[in-house]
C-alpha cells in the first residue's frame, strides 16, 4: 500500500510539473484554453448555486451515470456525483439478450429550486425521468415520469409554475405539476426555420423576457436564441454563433447560458471533436440589442481570460489513473450497461479490481461488467493518450478473455486468452483475431495507445514493465452514432466456455508512456 501511494505521488508531481498543461485547460496565467475539458462530456447544462457551478452531461448506457461535475470558476472541474448508480427499467440495460447502445440517458436539464436539485432527462425507449437531491453529491432519488420530453429544458417560473420546453424541429411547451406530470397538453411554440433538427432547448427568464437557448445540431451546429415576453410566444429567433472555422470551435453548439456572481455572462457548449467524443467549450457572451452573442466577432474563442467569479482558484485535473486501493471505484469509472455486483470486487483481493465471469458471451460487445473510462485528449495533439494496466491471470478458466480495449464501433483490444491448458496474448480488431503470441507466466502489462488527432489506436504488451511490444494492427477509431458516446478505455474479463474464472487488475494508469 505504501509503495503504491508513493508511486501515485510521484506520478502526480510529474504530471503537474511536466505534463499538466497538456491535459488542463487552465493555463495558470489567468487564461484558459478550449476545450475546457478535453474528453467526452456532451450536452452540457450548467447552473450556479451559491458559489459553485454544477454541470450535468450525457452518459447514455454507462452506469453509474448521469455524471454531475462541480467547479468554482467554470474552468477547473471535479467530479461531484454520478446521479444514477444503475438503471433497472429494462433487461436491455443488463445486456440480457439486447442492449441500449446509442440509447439511454441523454440531454439532461439541471435546475435548483427551493433548496433542491433536479435532473430531468429522457431515454428513447423508457420515457422521462426526474432525479432529485438536496445535496448534489447525492444520494439522488430517481423517479419515472408518466411522460417523456425530448431534449427537455426544465424551467421554474417566478410565479411558481413549472414548464418544460422540448422537441425536435418543432418546439413544444408543457406545464407540469409539482410531481412533474403534465398539467396541460403540449403547445407548439416554435418551428425551426433555418434547417431541420432544432433541439436542445434551455429556458431562461432574463430582464422579464423568456429566452429559449437551443441548437440546430450536427457537426456544423448552429446555436440560436429565441425570445418573447410570453413563455408561449410568439418568439423571435437569432443566430448567436455559427462557427465554420475548422478546429476546436467548429460547429460549437448545444448548452447553457450562465451568469457569474460578478454579472458576467458565459456559455458552456460542446464541439464534436473526433473519436474521443464531444468536448465542452466555454465561451464568453456579450449582450447586443438584447441577444446573447457568443464568442468574439462571431467566432468561438480558443484561448481566453478566465471568467471573473470574484476569486482566483488553482488549476485542477480530473482523475484518470486508479490503483484500486479504495473500497469504491473512482467517479471517472462507469460500467458498460448495468454492473452485476456479484461478479466484480475491490475487496476480495485488496488493492486489485477482480472481474469474475458469470455469463457466457461470444464477444466484447455482449460482455457484462466491462469497466469503462473516457480517454482525455492532450492539448498537444501530437501526443497520444495511453492507458496501461497490470493484469494477473492465474485464475482464469478455459475460454476466458481478459484485457484492455478501446471501445466504440469499431472496437479493438489486446487480451489474454485462456485456451486449453495454456494462455496466449491476442489482438482482436472489431471481432477478428489479428495476432496471437505466447503468454509467459501469469502476469502481463497491457497498453492501449490512442490518438484523437489521427483516429488511430494501437496495442502493446510487456512482461517486465520496461519493454513494450506492439501486437496486431491499428484500430481506425470512429465516432459512430450506433454507440453515440466517445471511444472509451475498457477493462474486461468475459467467458466463452465456462463461468467462474477471474482476472485481477492491479492498476490502471494514463498519461505517462514509461510508467
Active site residues: 43, 199
Calculate the alpha carbon distances from 467 to 335, 445, 460, 463, 515 in Å: 31, 10, 10, 8, 11
Nearest-angstrom CA–CA distance, 324 and 328 = 8
Tell me if residue 342 falls in helix, strand or coil.
Answer: helix
Tell me if residue 281 falls in helix, strand or coil.
Answer: strand
Tell me if residue 471 falls in helix, strand or coil.
Answer: coil
Torsional sign, CA 454, 455, 459, 465: positive
DSSP structural state of residue 2:
H
Calculate the alpha carbon distances from 348 to 325, 353, 358, 502, 505 in Å: 12, 9, 16, 11, 12
The Cβ of residue 194 has, within 10 Å, a number of other Cβ atoms equal to: 12
Torsional sign, CA 206, 211, 217, 223: negative
432-438 and 371-373 strand pairing: unpaired
Calculate the alpha carbon distances from 255 to 55, 147, 190, 268, 465 in Å: 10, 23, 19, 5, 43
Helices (DSSP H) in 248-345: which residue ranges?
none
Burial letters 169-183, b for 16+ CB under 10 A, else e: eebbbbbbeeebebe
Phi, psi of 313 (to 5 degrees): -125, 145
CA dihedral 348, 349, 355, 357 (to 10 degrees): -60
CA dihedral 71, 77, 79, 80 (to 10 degrees): 10
Contact 263, 271 (CB under 8 A): no
> DSSP readout, 9-42?
HHHHHHIIIIIHHHH-SB-SSSEEESSSS-S---
Contact 318, 312 (CB under 8 A): no
Amino acid at each position: 500500500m505504501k509503495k503504491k501511494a508513493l508511486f501515485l505521488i510521484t506520478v502526480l508531481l510529474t504530471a503537474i510539473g511536466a505534463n499538466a498543461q497538456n491535459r488542463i485547460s487552465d493555463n495558470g496565467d489567468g487564461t484558459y484554453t478550449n476545450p475546457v475539458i478535453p474528453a467526452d462530456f456532451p450536452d452540457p447544462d450548467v447552473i450556479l448555486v451559491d458559489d459553485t457551478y454544477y454541470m450535468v452531461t450525457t452518459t447514455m448506457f454507462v452506469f453509474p451515470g448521469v455524471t454531475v461535475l462541480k467547479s468554482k470558476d467554470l474552468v477547473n472541474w471535479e467530479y461531484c456525483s454520478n446521479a444514477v448508480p444503475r438503471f433497472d427499467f429494462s433487461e436491455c440495460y443488463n445486456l440480457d439478450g439486447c442492449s441500449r447502445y446509442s440509447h439511454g440517458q441523454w440531454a439532461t436539464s439541471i435546475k435548483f429550486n427551493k433548496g433542491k436539485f433536479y435532473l430531468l432527462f429522457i431515454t428513447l425507449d423508457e420515457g422521462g425521468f426526474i432525479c432529485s437531491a438536496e445535496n448534489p453529491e447525492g444520494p439522488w432519488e430517481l423517479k419515472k415520469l408518466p411522460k417523456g420530453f425530448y431534449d427537455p429544458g426544465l424551467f421554474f417560473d417566478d410565479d411558481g409554475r413549472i414548464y418544460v420546453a422540448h422537441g425536435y424541429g418543432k418546439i413544444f411547451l408543457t406545464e407540469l405539476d409539482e410531481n412533474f406530470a403534465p398539467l396541460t397538453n403540449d403547445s407548439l411554440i416554435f418551428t425551426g426555420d433555418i434547417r431541420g433538427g432544432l433541439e436542445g432547448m434551455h429556458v431562461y427568464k432574463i430582464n422579464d423576457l423568456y429566452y429559449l437557448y437551443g441548437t440546430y445540431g450536427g457537426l456544423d451546429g448552429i446555436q440560436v436564441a429565441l425570445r418573447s415576453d410570453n413563455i408561449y410566444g410568439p418568439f423571435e429567433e437569432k443566430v448567436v454563433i455559427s462557427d465554420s472555422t475548422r478546429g476546436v470551435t467548429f460547429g460549437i453548439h448545444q448548452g447553457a447560458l450562465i451568469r457569474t456572481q460578478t454579472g458576467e455572462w458565459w456559455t458552456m457548449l460542446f464541439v464534436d471533436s473526433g473519436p474521443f467524443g464531444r468536448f465542452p467549450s466555454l465561451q464568453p457572451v456579450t449582450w447586443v440589442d438584447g441577444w446573447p452573442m457568443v464568442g468574439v466577432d462571431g467566432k468561438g474563442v480558443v484561448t481566453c481570460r478566465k471568467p471573473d467569479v470574484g476569486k482566483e482558484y488553482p488549476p485542477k485535473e480530473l482523475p484518470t489513473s486508479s490503483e484500486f486501493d479504495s473500497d469504491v471505484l473512482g467517479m471517472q469509472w462507469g460500467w458498460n450497461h448495468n454492473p452485476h455486483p456479484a461478479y466484480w470486487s475491490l475487496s476480495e483481493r485488496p488493492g486489485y479490481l477482480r472481474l469474475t465471469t458469470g455469463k457466457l458471451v461470444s464477444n466484447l460487445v455482449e460482455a457484462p461488467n466491462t469497466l469503462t473510462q473516457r480517454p482525455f485528449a492532450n492539448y498537444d495533439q501530437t501526443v497520444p493518450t495511453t492507458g496501461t494496466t497490470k493484469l494477473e491471470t492465474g485464475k482464469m478458466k478455459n475460454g476466458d478473455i481478459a484485457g484492455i480495449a478501446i471501445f466504440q464501433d469499431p472496437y479493438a483490444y489486446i487480451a489474454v486468452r485462456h485456451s486449453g491448458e495454456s494462455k496466449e496474448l491476442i489482438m482482436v480488431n472489431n471481432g477478428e483475431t489479428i495476432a496471437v503470441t505466447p503468454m509467459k507466466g501469469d502476469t502481463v502489462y497491457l497498453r492501449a495507445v490512442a490518438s484523437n488527432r489521427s483516429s488511430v489506436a494501437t496495442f502493446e504488451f510487456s512482461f517486465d514493465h520496461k519493454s513494450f511490444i506492439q501486437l496486431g494492427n491499428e484500430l481506425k477509431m470512429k465516432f459512430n452514432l450506433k454507440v453515440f458516446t466517445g471511444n472509451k478505455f475498457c477493462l474486461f474479463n468475459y467467458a466463452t466456455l465456462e463461468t467462474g474464472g477471474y482476472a485481477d487488475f492491479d492498476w490502471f494508469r494514463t498519461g505517462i508512456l514509461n510508467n
